[in-house]
Amino acid sequence: MKLVVAVIKPFKLDACLRALADAGVTDVIHSEARGYGRQKTHLQDYHDDRFAVAFLPKVRVEFSVAPEQVKRAIEAVLGACRTGRQGDGKIWVLDARVAQAQAVGA
């Protein structure tokens, strides 16, 4: 199995999830994230004052796929999330092993 982690712009999440579903990816986890790349900071308004924000809002999308599905899944994310502007995000592909969990308790 391969674990794919994509960090994308928040407004692209719905399109990303639809594209992954169309590509056959069924189990997806997403969470809010903050970070920056080459764009460093941006200015934000707060009570009519502008200030620099070092970490930009992002969404982290994670899913696992079989090795033969990786290319199709990455193409789905790129097609749904790429705007062509700086800060579109990043994608990592990692080796993954499935571990079984047991319920603990009475």
Residue 106 lies in a domain: no
The better pLDDT of the pair 57, 48 is held by 57
Please state whether the predicted TM-score (pTM) of the whole model is above 0.85.
Answer: no
Residue 101 lies in a domain: no
- The C-alpha atoms of residue 89 and residue 106 are separated, in whole angstroms, by 44
Q: Check residue 86 and give its pLDDT.
A: 81
Residue 38 belongs to domain with CATH number: 3.30.70.120
- Number of separate domains in the chain: 1
Residue 105 lies in a domain: no
Confidence of residue 10 (pLDDT cuts 50, 70, 90): very high
User: Alpha helix locations (H) across 36-85?
Assistant: 70-81
Instruction: Look at residue 80 and give its three-state secondary structure.
Output: helix
**pLDDT cut 90: percent of the chain above it:** 60
Residue 98 lies in a domain: no
pLDDT reading at 16 higher than 90: yes
Rounded to 10 deg, the angle between the 70-81 and 13-22 helix axes is: 150
Provide the residue range defining the domain that includes 49. Answer: 2-92
Average pLDDT over residues 61-88: 94
